[in-house]
DNA sequence: ATCGTTGGCCAACATCTGTTGGCAAACAGT
DNA sequence: ACTGTTTGCCAACAGATGTTGGCCAACGAT
């Protein structure tokens, strides 16, 4: 069975409600019934639309970090540029919601963890490889990507998921400012 | 009803099985029945011992980071000292299991998040406040504690929970070596 | 030796979960 | 206008989960 444009508003409402519910309560606690109720739709329709709860999760999580090309940024500004892009991504309502949802679900869902591995290992590592070129020591670049991903994920975890007081209370500018020198240090090697 | 020493082996077995299950599958997916079976105990006994599944979780999570007093460490060695203590904590079978369990459960359990907030905000911030003294700028110290906690949590998340390739594949010494300059930079201001 | 307490097992309950099938109304193409 | 498809709702199912109560054996103190 295919779907027509007629049901698209309902499907979009379900997706939005799913993102909200998954991000707010985690992948297990979020129930199909609650999502359907939030979207004003029958629970069975959710299954009809997306096949299963897993299918719904897969449809609700799609993200592209659109990382900048650091080669076109002065070496001394790269940490700040990356820090700025980072807080922009996470503070944006839609992008941030998907990222929060992924980070929340990853520890207990192998599928979400895979998505994060793709996003951060492939995209972040790709960015660094593009920056360093192929002539450099690739093992060192990989190590840097690991540390870089850890710092970024850790900041996101502290600020947006766990809401540790120092990071959650700070403004976006303050976070970017605190993060810039750390990222600069990792990039500088 | 109180408990005597007679049932202590069984209670300990349940606690160990609970730590394993919670760390391996998260707080929701881990079932009382599976934990009881792993411990060789009846499911109802788990409830009798710990009141509820939440009570079991609370009993299974207890941790003391035993952070070093950085004031007694040469300023240039503090990053490396902290990095070393960190990997020791997380690579230790028992301590690491509890920490992994907390980090896994925190995104979906307010109780686990509270525990992490205590451990990292209070203990880590306390360590920095002891180091900086009261004459310094306390707001700056709080910011540093936030970044420090983020880096530590992020590394743990990448290496032990999400198992991102670059961090998970590295040896403990390599992780400590990669982490030391970052922590040193955060400490140095 | 006796009695109150604890330990352990069994079966069952109440609830919630994702999911399915059936049926009537609204639609789209001809 | 007619027909086949899509939409939506309702009820129900099948399975798993945390939890409870009842029963009997093992224990410890007197």
Residues A140, B92 contacting (CB under 8 angstroms) = no
pLDDT above 80: residue B106: yes
The CA–C1' separation of A148 and C18, in angstroms, is: 39
State which protein residues have CB closer than 7 Å to strand C.
A 4, 6, 30-34, 43-44, 46-48, 52-54; B 1-4, 6-7, 10, 41-45, 48
The CA–C1' separation of A26 and D23, in angstroms, is: 41
Strand C nucleotides, any atom under 7 Å to a protein CB = 5-11, 16-22, 27-28
pLDDT at site B112 = 84
Judged by a CB distance cut-off of 8 A, whether residue B176 touches chain A is: no
pLDDT above 80: residue B152: yes
* Residue partners of A106: CB distance under 8 A and separation at least 6: A112, A113, A115, A116, B161, B162
Crossing angle for the helix pair A78-91 and A172-188, nearest 10 degrees? 140
The CA–C1' separation of B118 and C6, in angstroms, is: 36
pLDDT at site A64 = 84
* Contact residues, chain A, for B107 at CB < 8 Å: 26, 103-105, 107-108, 157, 161-162
> CA-nearest residue of chain B to A164?
B117
* Helix then strand then coil, % of chain B, to nearest 5: 80, 0, 20
| C-alpha atoms less than 13 angstroms from C-alpha of B6 in its C-beta half-sphere | 3
Average pLDDT, chain B: 90
Strand D nucleotides, any atom under 7 Å to a protein CB = 5-12, 16-22, 27-28
Q: What does the pLDDT profile of chain A (189 residues) look like in tens digits?
A: 789 888 999 999 999 999 999 988 888 899 999 999 999 999 999 999 999 999 999 999 878 888 999 999 999 999 999 999 999 999 998 889 899 889 888 887 887 888 888 887 788 888 998 888 766 788 888 889 999 999 999 999 999 989 998 899 999 999 999 999 999 999 985
Query: Given an 8 Å threshold on Cβ–Cβ distance, is B151 in contact with A153?
Result: no
Judged by a CB distance cut-off of 8 A, whether residue A148 touches chain B is: no
**Nearest residue to D10 via alpha carbon and C1':** A42
Phi/psi class of residue A108: alpha, beta or left (left: φ > 0; alpha: ψ in -120 to 50)?
Answer: alpha
The CA–C1' separation of B169 and C14, in angstroms, is: 47
Of the candidates A82, A51, A39, A44, the one whose C-alpha atom is nearest the C-alpha of residue A179 is A82
Residue in A154, A166, A181 closest to B154 by CB: A154
Residues B129, B141 contacting (CB under 8 angstroms) = yes
pLDDT at site A11 = 96
pLDDT at site B32 = 96
For residue A49, how many other CB atoms are within 10 A of its CB? 18
CA distance A23 to B140: 31
pLDDT at site B135 = 65
Residue B42 carries which DSSP code?
-
Q: Regarding predicted confidence, which is higher, A77 or B25? A: A77
Judged by a CB distance cut-off of 8 A, whether residue A104 touches chain B is: yes
pLDDT at site A76 = 94
Judged by a CB distance cut-off of 8 A, whether residue B87 touches chain A is: no
Judged by a CB distance cut-off of 8 A, whether residue A52 touches chain B is: no
pLDDT above 90: residue B28: no
pLDDT above 90: residue B137: no
The structural domains of chain B, ordered by start, are 5-60 (1.10.10.60), 70-187 (1.10.357)
pLDDT at site A189 = 59
Residue in A157, A170, A174 closest to B154 by CB: A157
Mean pLDDT value of segment B111-139: 82
Of the candidates A116, A124, A156, A154, the one whose C-alpha atom is nearest the C-alpha of residue A142 is A124
pLDDT above 90: residue B48: yes
Nucleotide whose C1' lies closest to the alpha carbon of residue B42: C9
Structure tokens at A151: 């710092």
DSSP B130-186: HHH-SSS-HHHHHHHHHHHHHHHHHHHIIIIIS--HHHHHS-HHHHHHHHHHHHHHH
Nucleotide whose C1' lies closest to the alpha carbon of residue A34: C17
């Amino acid at each position: 069975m295919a779907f027509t444009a007629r049901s698209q508003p309902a499907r979009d409402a379900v997706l939005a409600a799913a993102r909200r519910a998954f991000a707010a309560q985690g992948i297990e606690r979020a129930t199909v019934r609650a999502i359907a109720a939030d979207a004003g739709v029958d629970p069975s329709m959710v299954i009809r639309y997306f096949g299963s709860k897993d299918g719904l999760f897969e449809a609700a999580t799609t993200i592209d970090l659109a990382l900048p090309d650091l080669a076109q940024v002065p070496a001394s500004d790269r940490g700040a540029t990356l820090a700025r892009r980072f807080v922009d991504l996470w503070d944006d309502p839609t992008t941030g919601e998907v990222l929060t949802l992924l980070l929340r679900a990853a520890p207990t869902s192998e599928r979400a963890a895979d998505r994060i591995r793709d996003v951060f290992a492939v995209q972040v590592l790709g960015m660094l490889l593009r920056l360093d070129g192929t002539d450099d020591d690739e093992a060192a670049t990989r190590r840097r990507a690991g540390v870089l991903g850890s710092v970024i994920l850790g900041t996101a975890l502290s600020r947006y998921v766990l809401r540790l007081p120092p990071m959650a209370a700070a403004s976006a500018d303050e976070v970017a400012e605190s993060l810039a020198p750390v990222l600069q240090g990792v990039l500088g090697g």
